[in-house]
Amino acid sequence: NAGVTQTPKFQVLKTGQSMTLQCAQDMNHNSMYWYRQDPGMGLRLIYYSASEGTTDKGEVPNGYNVSRLNKREFSLRLESAAPSQTSVYFCASSGPSGLVGSEQFFGPGTRLTVL
Amino acid sequence: GNSVTQMEGPVTLSEEAFLTINCTYTATGYPSLFWYVQYPGEGLQLLLKATKADDKGSNKGFEATYRKETTSFHLEKGSVQVSDSAVYFCAQSNSGYALNFGKGTSLLVTP
């Protein structure tokens, strides 16, 4: 099992450009998440998908959109990148939603720089 | 609202020293509590967890006890190694959905 995979690993964009971050999991998990990690801020939730076909906003959704393509894949799109979106982005997944104590499994991250 | 507060780093220790990283939380209800570890250049991985009061999570020599009366989940290890150098995150989950993370504590263990 590969677990949670993310592409690309690194990306540099210019302000105003768009891009999509890809995430896939092979653990048959129902729930998937996108976080961003910034120095001194910990991880903050951007969007999550409790199950296939549903998505919900997290703490910092502005400037992002998501698509739960199928049970395996959950993509994050930046329509018009801004320097404030320079960050490391992590995708995660977990088992049945609402199960107390569900562990989240994280991908290796995408380091994004917006110039 | 729900939040997690953990001690700020960086924490620098000599090999074989005792480690404590403090973590306290605020929450409605009874959250599950977690410690995640992030090694340089990698994603987060679960270190240990506890799902109810007085539970003790343990893994790789690390321990943390869910203390409802003090709303704390402090991470401890009796003898740290150089390979424990990483960033440690305390987190809580109330519903099994997304986690609330602390800001992370960087640990550097020197030989």
CB contact (8 A) between residue B98 and residue A42? no
B44 touches chain A (CB under 8 A): yes
B102 touches chain A (CB under 8 A): yes
Q: How far is CA B68 from the centre of its chain?
A: 16
For chain B, 111 residues long, give each residue's pLDDT as a single digit of tens.
Answer: 788 999 888 999 999 999 999 999 998 888 889 999 999 888 899 999 998 899 999 999 999 999 999 999 999 999 999 999 999 999 998 665 678 899 999 999 999
> What does the alpha-carbon distance between residue B75 and residue B20 come to, in Å, rounded to a whole number?
6
- At B28 the pLDDT is 81
Nearest CA in chain B to A103: B46
pLDDT range class, residue A98, cuts 50, 70, 90: low
- At A17 the pLDDT is 97
Q: How many residue pairs bridge chain A and chain B with CB atoms within 8 Å of each other?
A: 60
Strand partners, B62: B59, B77
Q: Is the peptide bond between A96 and the residue preceding it cis, with omega within 30 degrees of 0?
A: no
Contacts of A7 in chain B (CB under 8 A): none
Contacts of B102 in chain A (CB under 8 A): 42
pLDDT of A96 higher than 70: no
Three-class HEC string of chain A: CCCEEEECCEEEECCCCCEEEEEEECCCCCEEEEEEEECCCEEEEEEEECCCCCCEECCCCCCEEEEECCCCEEEEEECCCCHHHCEEEEEEEECCCCCCCCCEEECCCEEEEEC
B92 touches chain A (CB under 8 A): no
pLDDT mean across residues, chain A: 91
B49 touches chain A (CB under 8 A): yes
| Position with higher pLDDT, A46 vs B99 | A46
Nearest one of B25, B42, B39 to B88, comparing CA atoms: B39
| A38/chain B closest Cα distance in angstroms | 9
CB-based contacts of A62: which residues, under 8 Å, 6+ apart? none
Nearest one of A101, A107, A96, A114 to A4, comparing CA atoms: A107
Contacts of B89 in chain A (CB under 8 A): 42-43
Measure CB to CB from residue A31 to each of B34, B44, B97 and give the nearest one: B97
CB contact (8 A) between residue A4 and residue B98? no
Measure CB to CB from residue B43 to each of A96, A98, A109 and give the nearest one: A109
Nearest one of A30, A4, A76 to B45, comparing CA atoms: A4
